[in-house]
Amino acid sequence: MHKQLLTILTIILLASPLVSAELTISTPQIVGDLDGDGDVDFNDFFIFGDNFHTENPTEGDTDGDGDVDFDDFFTFIDNWGEEGKDADINNDGIVNEDDSDILEGDLGSEGDDLDSDLDNDGDVDFDDFFNLIDQFGDITEIEDTPILITDPSPRDNTEGVNSLSREFTWSSLVDNGNNVRYEVYLVKGGAWTDNNNNNLAVDDLRDLSGNTPVKTVTTNDFRSSVTIENLHEFTVYYWRVKAIDLNGDEFTSPIWKFFTHDGAFSEDNEFVADSTQNQIPTAQITSEGLTTGKGASVTFSGVGSDQDGYIASYEWAIEDVVHVAGPQFKDILVTFANTGDYEVNFRVQDDKGAWSTWDVINVNIVDKFAPNPPSNPNPTNGFPGLNFAQFSWNGGDRDSNEITYNLKISRTPDFSFLVEDRTITSSMDRPNFGIGGLDTTQNHWWRVIATDPEGNSNLGPVWTFGPGVQETAPIQSSNNDVFVSDNGSDNGSDNGSDNGSDNGSDNGSDNGS
């Protein structure tokens, strides 16, 4: 908890006996519901204040140790606003300082349907603030975008496609009954085992913004088709369909793969090889195991390799914490709210549907709070180029005074080209560094690592400044089902339907269409 927040709550707590004398104490139904009205709110808070620092109290001893102290205070706060709505105000998958900043800006606002009105009472007040505190660090579930373009022909991983002429068809649930414009994108790879060119082709199709479709068709039919001719023989191709409805909304299909033969092959000769004949991919977690305190946000990164194809999906599983799978989860950010020993499990799926074995590292979360994750940066994320800057951020710790901060500034997003690497120990809630001599023509990436005296660390997000930077913070992970250790189930990933980087490979100009 930030020290500013603790100060505000302490002032309210110490002042509470002045205004609580007329309140009636009754048997609580939930922990912290001291007046028994079904929720934990300011009335209960003032009752709690009457009993603060009281031995053998009538109310407020939530942990049953015989007195009312700050241990009870934090338990009390944990139950504040239990009936409030999801506090992930900006819908980025995690309740953090960004949501707190939004709520702080909305304090005092009144009206219907306010995102920051977490208790739905028509105004944004401290009840909503405590509701957010109760959910702080929670990872929320973000719904996957449904895939509306399916059932391709040729199917994914089809071999034996006629190189001279082939009709490409697909089914679509996009705006059925109205005209929809379909754009077909095709990228040439290499030979079946040419991983380098094939991976480049897949990367090119992940971002269609710079690509030109090889065919277009406008139709209101459920199933659509185009004919593509004069492809290279014995070559891997990848294709994808984008739909644009009458409102201009866009929908994309997964990426599908096929392998051509000569012009003598017909659709009857096409086949999809059994995935059991496929070489199994391998997975490796590149992050190291660690020990840190509760509340720490930890980034995990993994890589996969496949000898006869490409990596189509990633899966992470931490029992009782998070379970996600999909092409976008190469990196995840996880916040550990509770103490304990955790196994971090990671595996990958290749383009033919085969999964690797699990790679595992261990994380130990000790019964001490990690430093608050660095937040609210200056310069702000995406700021233009600077020659000099006073770098600052919100920091602090819930149970330590002095925190060591390591500020890293790099010209590359992977921090392989550091231009500054400074360390300061500070008890301030908002530490700062003044740094000059920066190149205003270069993009920079920076982050802060906070470490308490016991060695528990918390890693801030990656922030950027410069003439043309884009945010590179790790993907926020979302909740899913509890981890079950198996090596065969497909947990909902798709084959390459994410929006990754465009690596500038051939976008199909030599397909002969």
The pLDDT value given to residue 169: 96
Q: Are 474 and 334 spatial neighbours (Cβ–Cβ below 8 Å)?
A: no
Q: What is the DSSP secondary structure assignment for residue 47, as one 8-state letter? A: H
Mean pLDDT by 10 residues, the chain (513 residues): 46 41 38 61 68 67 68 60 64 73 85 80 81 70 65 91 95 86 96 87 88 94 94 95 92 92 85 71 89 87 86 88 87 89 92 85 91 88 82 87 90 87 89 86 89 87 78 45 35 35 36 34
| Residues 148 and 173: beta-carbon distance below 8 Å | yes
Separation of first and last alpha carbons in the chain: 61
* 149-261 matches 375-465 in fold: yes
Per-residue pLDDT at 288: 84
Q: Can you give the pLDDT at residue 347? A: 92
Three-state SS string over 326-371 comes to: ECCCCEEEEECCCCEEEEEEEEEEECCCCECCCEEEEEEEEEEECC
DSSP β-bridge partners for residue 165: 229
Nearest Cα to Cα of residue 459 among 295, 284, 285, 289: 295
Q: List the domain boundaries for the chain.
A: 39-83, 94-139, 149-261, 282-366, 375-465
Q: What's the CATH code, domain 282-366?
A: 2.60.40.10
Helix/strand/coil for 78: helix
This model's pTM is above 0.75? no
Comparing CA positions, the residue from 26, 58, 61, 55 lying closest to residue 43 is 26
Q: Are 358 and 347 in contact (CB under 8 A)?
A: yes
Question: Rounded CA gap, 350 and 442, in Å?
Answer: 37
DSSP class per residue in 178-225: S-EEEEEEEEE--STT-HHHHHHHHHHHH--TT---SEEEEE--SEEE
**What is the greatest pairwise CA distance in the chain?**
93
- Using a 10 angstrom Cβ sphere, with 0-12 exposed, 13-18 middle and 19 or more buried, the burial of residue 449 is middle
Taking alpha carbons only, the member of 122, 115, 118 closest to residue 130 is 118
Report the pLDDT value the prediction gives residue 400, as an integer from 0 to 100: 75
Q: Residues 54, 67: contact at Cβ < 8 Å? A: yes
Q: Is the dihedral of CA 258, 260, 263, 267 positive or negative?
A: negative
Domain 375-465 in this protein, CATH class = mainly beta
Strands laid side by side in the 432-435 sheet:
375-378, 389-394, 432-435
Report whether 161 contacts 145 (CB < 8 A).
no
Amino acid at 278: N
Q: Which CATH superfamily is domain 149-261 in?
A: Immunoglobulins (2.60.40.10)
Q: State the DSSP string of 446-482.
A: EEEEEE-TTS-EEEPPPEEESTT----PPPBP---SP
Residue 171: HSE in the Cβ half-sphere, 13 Å Cα cutoff: 5
Question: At residue 201, what are phi and psi to the nearest 5 degrees?
Answer: -65, -40
Chain length of the chain: 513
**Nearest alpha carbon to residue 275 among 392, 219, 162, 355:** 355
- Partnered with residue 67 across adjacent β-strands are 55
